[in-house]
Amino acid sequence: MSPQDAFEAYVKLLYRRWYGFPLHSSRQPLDARRLALANELVAAPDPKTAAQSFLDFVRWSRALPGVMAQLSADRRAEEVLGSNGVGLFLNNPNLKPSLADPQALATTLSQRDPALWAVRQQFYVDGEKTATLAAVRAALEPLSDFDAADQAQIEALLAAYDAAGNPAKAEETLLALEEMDDVIIVAWRAILAGKAYKRIPKMGGEMSAMPVVLAAPEPQVTAAPAGVTTSFFTDVRFPRTVKLWDVQPLFVRLTLNQDTRSITDGEVSVEFPDPKAPELITVRLFAPGFIEEYQTWERTLIAFSDRNSEPVGFLLKADAAGKTQFTIDFFKDDRQIGTTNFQVEVVASGQTATANVEIDGQGREMNMVLTHVPPPADLELRVIYVQREQMLHYLLHSTKSAVDIHWESMGSTPLNTETAAAFFEETFAFLDELSEIPPEDLSDAELLEFSEKIENAGEKLFERLFSPELQDVYWDILALHEEGVINSFLITSDEPWIPWELVKPYKMGRRDKIVQRGGFLGETFQLSRWLSGRSPREQLHVKAARVIVPDTDLAHTRGEGQDFDRMKTLGVEVSEPIATKAALMEVIRAGAVQLLHFATHAAFDSDRPHESPIELDENLIPEDLTNRVIEKLSLVSPIIFLNACQTGRMGFQLNGLDGWAERFVRKVHATAFVGTLWEVNDALAAQFAAKFYAELFDGNTLGVAFQRARLHIKTDANPTWLAYALYGDPNTTVRWGDQPER
């Protein structure tokens, strides 16, 4: 291979693997360096100097994080990197290669979008471009399906091509057509028809980080005002049914108006601090049983405040027949701002269709605006529950460079709904009983026995819920925690009923039989959870608060009301405790408070979780909080603390979530929700609340305050300290009354 050919091949290899390079540590510096090199090559005084500049680029690029791992995975890696390619010149410093055409190499280096260019090289093969254009042209008919402006532009481009009478203009025409959002979707499907692709591993391995960024849309005339938040619809195009082994593109974009051709009707709100500047939105796809052509399940699209984004695409191929669930998550600044799910059926034969598909209700979640974004949690576990498979799938992510885990698949574990429901109910019933027994009433033998029972329950959860991959990586995570690298831990999940706080890691060496035990997750980390969809708020200003303390037999609830009065010294408006359902409903309807604290009884009804009551003078149930009732409160996004037994639990049902946590997180858009998963000891519950608020008053984050409150009431033989669950961002901070903004 000549130096010219070897160097061209190396650039093409980089572009083919572009999706897989880490965004910040590799792709962005690669992007800047390749463009600078293109200018260097054009200005080089001689071909040998140009060749040396390129070899310096090769050495530098190979040393970037993740680059060689990606390049080596390509089917042409040996040919390009070995002794017949650039390896010949890297390993023989005495060779002085010379570039035959530096300008041609500079042209390749300066492509606007490397990833898209690589795809086009695959599609637009020399000798086939005329036929490709003919296929696209046929697929665009009838043009009446497009709006008037697009129709006129398509007609003009095709007329110009026909008038030129030059087949060499085919690629130019194809590229011009691709600049139109609706056309590219049709064009790619037409081009893919009949093409064969090499089979690659299906989803389940490492999920590479590098997205593809398509060209920015053409500017619109109307400018957005300064500092805006734009609500977008998620426009997703994919057939309802696909044939086994057929390659199908899936397109995702954000649009200002809902497009009826989309198979989802989700919404995502994006904040634009500078409305003239774009924001990068990460699109992450989870498609069990499908192969992605570039082995990457993540893309980045460019969003502008005043226009539709261009689409980003995935090339998918099914390798198993049956129904499956796709999940698409949207992220900004490493925080989830939306999600949508839909089902696809894979058939052995038959026509594909693009009709609307079944969409899960959570697909319409909107995010609340992030204004002062704190750092994301040190570690995030994304749990995806696929109902058809009855499987929990795990993805693990950290923004910490020392962790070096970026949305890697951590395998899956089966979760049969019937056996799981029975298991959890049995576990919760056992914990309910223990919580009712004061530790001072137990003998030393009973203290030890009950403590071991609680630990055994946690270890059983670790064994049953954590996949083998997640079990293995946990001990590396624990080591990083002990080094101070990982403290905050967010679990974002489709399921709300697993007691993650109680999970207690345990392992025994296969050969040496050495036992290793970790603490409970709720003890070890600043642990919080969130339901997939909109992102939790990162800061809240509490100006007004209410405590709900009915006349009950709880000895310590009045004490909680007295502790609540301390907020007044910080400038928080606090009225007399609320004791009746009618008074509470009036406060909720008004929507003028940022904190509601319940100190009362509650009960969980596993058969009818939507009717699980909170005891007031009249029972309050989740269904009382209708959309009309909570309309104003949802705009405030308050903190909700239900310091009552079993308020964090929800029904284990196939048709969706239920219970108080679901109502306050999904419907009320709470900044944070605190509830309990089983019975709690009254005295310990009051102490937990007092410590939690004291830590927040001192300016600590939710995660820090929650962990310290948990450890403050830790009693080995009583599981109350593990009963509390926090829904929210562990790095969220609270500003109280007259406190200055941080």
pLDDT at residue number 112: 75
Burial of 468 (0-12, 13-18, 19+ CB in 10 A): exposed
**d(Cα 122, Cα 640) in Å, to the nearest integer?**
54
pLDDT at residue number 404: 82
**d(Cα 218, Cα 610) in Å, to the nearest integer?**
48
For the chain, the domains span 3-111, 123-192, 228-367, 395-529, 534-736
Q: Is the peptide bond before 3 cis (omega within 30 degrees of 0)?
A: no
**CATH class of segment(s) 228-367:** mainly beta
pLDDT at residue number 608: 55
Do 228-367 and 534-736 agree at the fold level? no
Q: Select from 492, 540, 503, 521 the least CA-distant residue to 702.
A: 540
Q: Does the pTM of the predicted model rise above 0.75?
A: no
pLDDT at residue number 279: 85
Side-chain-facing half-sphere of 39: CA atoms under 13 Å:
4
**d(Cα 14, Cα 67) in Å, to the nearest integer?**
8
Inter-CA distances, 379 with 8, 472, 512, Å? 40, 16, 30
Residues of the chain with pLDDT under 50: 194-225, 352-371, 646, 648-658
The answer for residues whose C-beta is within 8 angstroms of residue 547's C-beta and 6 or more apart is: 560, 561, 564, 574, 577, 578, 597, 598, 599
**d(Cα 418, Cα 89) in Å, to the nearest integer?**
63
The answer for residues whose C-beta is within 8 angstroms of residue 70's C-beta and 6 or more apart is: 17, 20, 21, 208, 210
Question: Helix, strand, or coil here: 582?
Answer: helix
Question: Which residues on neighbouring strands pair with residue 674, listed in sequence order?
Answer: 641, 726
pLDDT at residue number 648: 45
Residues 166-218 pLDDT 10s? 877 887 787 777 667 666 666 666 655 544 333 333 333 333 333 333 333 43
pLDDT at residue number 468: 94
Question: Helix, strand, or coil here: 640?
Answer: strand
Q: Does domain 534-736 have CATH number 3.40.50.1460?
A: yes
Integer-rounded Cα Rg, in Å, for the chain is 29
pLDDT at residue number 652: 40
Place of tokens 């008037």: 148
pLDDT at residue number 51: 92
pLDDT at residue number 622: 84
DSSP letter assigned to residue 402: T
Place of tokens 């101070």: 484
Place of tokens 């308050």: 638
Place of tokens 């009446």: 144
pLDDT at residue number 99: 92
CA angle at residue 202 from 201 to 203, to 5 degrees?
A: 125
CA dihedral 268, 271, 276, 282 (to 10 degrees): -60
